[in-house]
Amino acid sequence: LPTRAGSSLEPEKHSMEQPAEPEEEVPITTAPGQAGCQLFGYVGIEAVLDQMKIKTMKTGFEFNIMVVGQSGLGKSTMVNTLFKSKVSRKASQPGQEERIPKTVQLQSITHVIEERGVKMKLTVTDTPGFGDQINNENCWDPIIKYINEQYERYLREEILITRKRKIPDTRVHGCVYFIPPTGHWLRPLDLEFMRRLSKIVNVVPVIAKADTLTLEERAEFKQQIQEDLKTHAISVYPQEDFDQDPDDRVLNDRIRENIPFAVVGADQEHQVNGKRVLGRKTKWGIIEVENPTHCEFPLLRDLLIRSHLQDLKDITHNVHYESYRVRRLNESNRP
C-alpha cells in the first residue's frame, strides 16, 4: 500500500484500522490590546486624519439651515449672530398692504463663508408669512413640500447611472423653530408644526426674545414646554433614539435638559469693560448674547456649529433622507 505521505494519485484503500483523528483547527482571534495588534514602530496610520482635514479644507462642506417662526421674532438677527456676518438679509420694508404675505413664501440665501482656511457653503432658508395669518390652517404644508423637494432632488441625482462624484446637497440639515415668548404654554400651531416636521427634519426649538421674560418666567416656561413635548410624544433634536454610545447620551441628556434654548439675538457691538461684545442696549444695561448668565445663545451656537454640526448632517442623511428614499422606491415598485 502506498503510504499517506506518498505522491500516488490512486484512491486510497480503506483498511480496518481506525484512521487517525485530524488535529483540531484553532481559530485565530486577536483582541484589542493583545500582542497581535501591537505595532513595533511608527507606521503612520494617524496621518489619515491629516489627509481628511486637508481634503475637507480644499473641497469645503455644505450646511443648510432653516428658520421658522412668526414675523418679528428676530430670525434674521439670530442667524447673523450665529455666524457673525450678514448671512441673512432683512427684506426691504414694502408697503403696508404687502407687509404680511398671504401665504408662506420660502426664501433661500446661499453664502460661502471661510474661517481659518475652512470653507463652508451655507444656505439659510427663511419662511416669511408663517403663523402671521388669522387662519393658519395647514401653513406648514409649503415647508414640508420644500423639505421633501430637496430630498427628491438628491434622490434623482443618486439613482442616475452616471452620477456626479459629489452630489450637490440642498437637504435641510436643521430647522430652528422660534417660539413666541408668551410665558405660558405651547400654542396648538407650535405643537402641530413640531409634531409634523420632527418626523422629516431635525427640529431645534428656541424661545425667541427671551429678554422679555424674567428668569422665573423663563424657567417656568421651559418646564411647561418640555412637558408639552413629552405629552404629545414630539421628539426634537437631539433625539434619544439616535444616541450612538454612552458618552453621546450623557452629552445629549445635558442638552435635552436645557431645550428649548432661551436666546437673544443682536448684530451690534457695544463696549463693556473695555471689550467689544455683541449685545442689546437697554435702559438697565447691555444684554450680552454670548454671556451664559444673560441668555442661552452660546448653547444654541455650540449645538448647531461647534459640537453637533456633523451629527445634524449624518442624521439627515442616514435617518430622514433614508426613510424618504425607502418610501419613494417602494412607491415606484408598486404595480
Q: Where are the alpha helices (DSSP H) in 179-284?
A: 188-197, 215-231, 246-258
CA distance to 39, 42, 43, 49, per residue, from 46 (Å): 13, 10, 8, 6
* Preceding peptide of 19 cis, ω within 30°: no
3-state secondary structure 274-334: CEEEEEEEECCEEEECCCCCCCCHHHHHHHHHHHCHHHHHHHHHHHHHHHHHHHHHHHHHC
Asked whether the beta carbons of 291 and 259 are under 8 A apart, the reply is: no
pLDDT at 325: 96
Positions of the chain with pLDDT lower than 50, given as ranges: 1-16, 28-30, 33, 35, 92-93, 96-98
CA–CA distances in Å: residue 41 to residues 30, 35, 38, 44, 72: 19, 13, 9, 9, 62
How many Å apart are CA 309 and CA 60, to the nearest integer?
A: 14
Specify the amino acid at residue 145. Answer: K
Q: What is the pLDDT of residue 332?
A: 81
Domains in the chain and their CATH numbers?
Answer: 51-88+100-127+138-264+297-333 (3.40.50.300)
Q: Is 89 exposed, middle or buried (0-12, 13-18, 19+ CB in 10 A)?
A: middle
- What is the total residue count of the chain? 335
19 torsion bin: left (phi>0), alpha (psi -120 to 50), beta (else): beta
Distance CA 324, CA 36 (A): 44
